């Protein structure tokens, strides 16, 4: 069943029920708009604090966009790029594209102009819809991307080189275009996160999207009454595919435009959110704010919040231990996935397995896993190897890249590039990215293990471990440490804290600096290597404030 049918079902069964809410906390105290008011408002709708859309209105908005695209000659197999910040229009735009049979191509909102051009050309995009935040970047490339038939602008003050989305869709029919779709039809192109170089274009079918919805709902038992808080970027598979579990049963979602701890708790309180998906840094920020006294939990109504789950990166067990001290009634889960496996859920811990915090879990609903050596043979339980996954959510291919596809897809198995091991109970623990392993004096060092250890230090806000070239050992483990605000730490403090680590695992170099992360929470290790590798690292001060 194509995923567009779920939207139609929700519109038929729950036409007036809330589907989506957008909260812009920077506009606190300003307008609160229904979709009808937002669509007709004469003043700038970007000034609104809260916007809301029902399932019936969501479906009509998607139909209008689909009919606009069809009227301009867009057909099954064409590609329509989305370059928008998180907003209430994002998902109706996405589903409007899918309803035409075209492929949605979400773009990372951090891309520079040349990166946008690269991805548009790689994906053979025919149309792009973009928001006001990107006008300057898009204007730089619009004359150089020849394939694009339509530059659509969503927002106030449409630039002269584009056409206004709002003006055009207002004249389009809100009836379903009834393009025949099947599970086997291509649905979307997602780009890899780019943490290992230029992003690759990942093709997914409708089968992948619907399976992600079923997987998520199976794992977290969403009902119509659940309210999902969506904070991460919608261009990525992670947040959207977690929301798909609520979407499947007609549950509503709140799109929060901001990550400050007080904004998160206030939105959970006001909107009665029951499911919140966080990245590790955001969870840490909430706990730090509570422990500093900046936030008082009794000021918020958090009674409906039942599930906190985390993905996108390994989760330090110490973080969840702290979390449960303040939120003892929360169920907790962690999810593992890649854009190539349609985001989260191909491996998950399970809410019943909190005693295994630190593991990513076991194969998710409808998935298989194995851990293999360099020859593709399964390793003995307990040994480290590469994690491979198989299931209905595995990508079709990397678009226009047969070699890269054949490197990771073998007999239906997706080779993830993540090094992992199974414990005696069959739970999988991530060890590190295959490309991030440090070989120091002949020993394999796994940065994630060292990072997890260092994160136990109450003075450390974030940490990344990379290998730096060394004439004698080949590489040495180097820790880039971000100290918590208001705290002081020295190299000697770090060395003392690491005394319980085996000597060969202790960082041989310590750098105090910010740890860069991409919008999905992954540490940008290539960026760190560019900064520190192959250059003489400026001597760091022994003490920072």
- Tell me the mean pLDDT in the region 352-377: 92
CA distance from start to end of the chain: 57
For residue 216, give the nearest of 187, 237, 246, 253 by alpha carbon. 246
Instruction: Summarize pLDDT for 394-429 with one digit per residue, the tens.
Output: 999 999 999 999 999 999 999 998 889 999 999 998
Give the chain's domains with CATH numbers. 4-258 (3.40.50.12780), 306-433 (2.30.38.10), 437-544 (3.30.300.30)
Residue 74: helix, strand or coil by DSSP? Answer: coil
- Tell me the mean pLDDT in the region 306-334: 87
- Tell me the mean pLDDT in the region 366-389: 93
Q: pLDDT-derived band of residue 440, with 50, 70 and 90 as boundaries?
A: confident
The pair phi, psi for residue 130, each rounded to 5°, is -135, 160
Residues in the chain: 545
Strand partners, 428: 361, 422
Q: Where are the alpha helices (DSSP H) in 72-130?
A: 90-99, 113-123
Neighbours of 406 (CB within 10 A): 11
CA pair distance 80, 104, nearest whole angstrom: 5
The pair phi, psi for residue 65, each rounded to 5°, is -65, -40
CA pair distance 491, 510, nearest whole angstrom: 6
Nearby residues of 404 by Cβ (< 8 Å), 6 or more positions away: 200, 398
Give the mean pLDDT of the chain: 88
Instruction: Summarize pLDDT for 221-230 with one digit per residue, the tens.
Output: 999 999 999 9
For residue 149, give the nearest of 114, 211, 102, 209 by alpha carbon. 102
Contact 203, 395 (CB under 8 A): yes
**DSSP character for 182?**
-
Q: pLDDT-derived band of residue 317, with 50, 70 and 90 as boundaries?
A: confident
- Tell me the mean pLDDT in the region 242-250: 95
- Tell me the mean pLDDT in the region 379-395: 94
Q: pLDDT-derived band of residue 49, with 50, 70 and 90 as boundaries?
A: confident
Which two tokens mark 64? 């209008």
CA pair distance 398, 128, nearest whole angstrom: 21
Query: For residue 542, what pLDDT is reported?
Result: 32
Question: Does pLDDT of 71 surpass 90?
Answer: yes
Q: pLDDT-derived band of residue 519, with 50, 70 and 90 as boundaries?
A: low
Which two tokens mark 392? 């209905």
Query: For residue 39, what pLDDT is reported?
Result: 55
Query: For residue 537, what pLDDT is reported?
Result: 37
């Amino acid at each position: 069943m194509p995923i567009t049918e779920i939207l139609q079902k929700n519109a038929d069964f729950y036409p007036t029920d809330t589907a989506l809410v957008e909260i812009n906390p920077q506009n606190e105290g300003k307008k609160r708009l229904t979709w009808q008011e937002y669509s007709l408002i004469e003043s700038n709708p970007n000034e609104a604090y809260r916007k809301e859309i029902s399932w019936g209105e969501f479906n009509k908005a998607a139909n209008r966009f689909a009919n606009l695209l069809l009227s301009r000659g867009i057909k099954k197999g064409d590609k329509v790029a989305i370059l928008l910040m998180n907003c209430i229009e994002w998902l109706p735009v996405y589903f409007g594209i899918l309803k035409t049979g075209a492929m949605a191509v979400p773009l990372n909102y951090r891309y520079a102009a040349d990166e946008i051009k690269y991805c548009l050309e790689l994906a053979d995009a025919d149309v792009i819809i973009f928001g006001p935040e990107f006008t300057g970047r898009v204007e730089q490339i619009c004359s150089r991307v020849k394939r694009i038939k339509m530059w659509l602008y969503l927002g106030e003050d449409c630039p002269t080189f584009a056409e206004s989305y709002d003006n055009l869709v207002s004249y389009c029919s809100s009836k379903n275009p009834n393009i025949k779709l099947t599970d086997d039809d291509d649905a979307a192109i997602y780009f890899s996160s780019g943490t290992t170089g230029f992003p690759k274009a990942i093709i997914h079918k409708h089968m992948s999207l619907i399976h992600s919805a079923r997987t998520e709902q199976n794992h977290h038992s969403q009902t119509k009454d659940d309210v999902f808080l969506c904070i991460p970027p919608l261009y990525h598979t992670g947040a959207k595919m977690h929301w798909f579990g609520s979407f499947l049963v007609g549950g509503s979602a709140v799109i929060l435009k901001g990550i400050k701890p007080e904004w998160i708790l206030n939105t959970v309180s006001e909107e009665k959110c029951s499911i919140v998906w966080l990245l590790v840094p955001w969870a840490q920020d909430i706990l730090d704010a509570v422990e500093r006294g900046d936030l008082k939990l009794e000021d918020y109504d958090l009674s409906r919040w039942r599930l906190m789950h985390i993905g996108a990166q390994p989760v330090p067990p110490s973080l969840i231990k702290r979390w449960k001290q303040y939120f003892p009634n929360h169920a907790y889960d962690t999810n593992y996935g890649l854009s190539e496996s349609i985001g989260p859920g191909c491996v998950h811990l399970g809410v019943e397995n909190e005693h295994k915090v630190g593991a990513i879990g076991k194969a998710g609903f409808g998935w298989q896993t194995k851990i293999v050596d360099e020859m593709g043979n399964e390793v003995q339980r307990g040994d480290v190897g590469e994690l491979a996954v198989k299931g209905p959510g595995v990508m079709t291919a990397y678009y226009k890249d047969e070699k890269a596809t054949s490197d990771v897809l073998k007999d239906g198995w997706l080779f993830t590039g993540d090094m992992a091991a199974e414990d005696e109970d069959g739970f999988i623990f991530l060890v590190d990215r295959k490309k991030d392993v440090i070989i120091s004096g002949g020993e394999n060092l796994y940065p994630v293990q060292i990072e997890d250890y260092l994160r136990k230090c109450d003075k450390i806000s974030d940490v990344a471990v990379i290998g730096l070239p060394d004439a004698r050992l080949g590489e040495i483990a180097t820790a880039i440490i971000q100290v918590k605000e208001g705290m002081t730490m020295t190299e000697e403090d770090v060395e003392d804290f690491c005394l319980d680590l085996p000597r060969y695992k202790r960082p041989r170099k310590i750098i105090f600096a910010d740890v860069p992360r991409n919008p999905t929470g992954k540490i940008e290790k290539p960026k760190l290597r560019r900064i520190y590798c192959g250059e003489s690292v400026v001597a760091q001060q022994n003490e920072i404030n």
